[in-house]
Amino acid sequence: DLIKAMIVVSSNDAAAALVFSAGEREFIDAMQMKASGLKMFDAAYIEPTGLSALNQSTASDLAKLTKYIYENYPEILEISRQKYLDIIELKSGQPRRLINVNHFAGQPEFLGGKTGYTEEADRNLIALFRLKDKTFLTIVLGAKSAVEETKTMKDLISSCQ
């Protein structure tokens, strides 16, 4: 459920709780080792939530990570494409509905992806689409409206096929 909350509503509290169980330094080191193993040589993780401007990556490295997830952990993309998900709050035992913050969630051609925002980085969006029997990856970094930029690319791809 913590991973669902991190993906669907970008919950930094869920990320912090997940990190707490592993230990922050150990978690960051594991992130950096995985990035290195994926040949994401321009990625640098300084803290685990993604909120620090010191965390850095490139579109190329994010494409490598997305490909890895697509090929090895499709269930992550399945979570990210849902319009909403229900989780159970551990303390109360009550169900809680998470509404996906990703504009494309729930659309049939959307295979999954992740939004991101910080003041320093502005709006970011990684999105995988299945259009006319082909899979396309879009990565928008530092946009005023990552949704509009992604929609423009998606429409362009659709019109070219």
Confirm if 141 and 121 have CB atoms less than 8 A apart. Answer: yes
Query: What is the C-alpha separation between 109 and 107, in angstroms, rounded?
Result: 6
Q: How far apart are the first and last CA of the chain?
A: 38
Could you read off the pLDDT tens digit of each residue along the chain, which spans 161 residues?
889 999 999 998 888 888 888 899 999 999 999 999 999 999 988 888 887 787 889 999 999 999 999 999 999 999 999 999 999 988 899 999 999 999 999 999 999 999 998 888 899 999 999 998 999 999 999 999 999 999 999 999 888 86
Can you list the pairs that 106-110 forms with residues at least 24 positions away whose Cβ atoms lie under 8 Å? Answer: 106/81, 106/82, 109/154, 110/81
Q: What is residue 109's predicted lDDT score, i.e. its pLDDT? A: 96
Question: How buried is residue 114: exposed, middle or buried, by Cβ count under 10 Å (0-12/13-18/19+)?
Answer: buried
Q: What is residue 161's predicted lDDT score, i.e. its pLDDT? A: 61
Cross-strand partners of 86:
97
Cross-strand partners of 116:
124
Confirm if 104 and 8 have CB atoms less than 8 A apart. Answer: no
What are the structure tokens assigned to 119, written together?
């003041």
Q: What is residue 50's predicted lDDT score, i.e. its pLDDT? A: 80
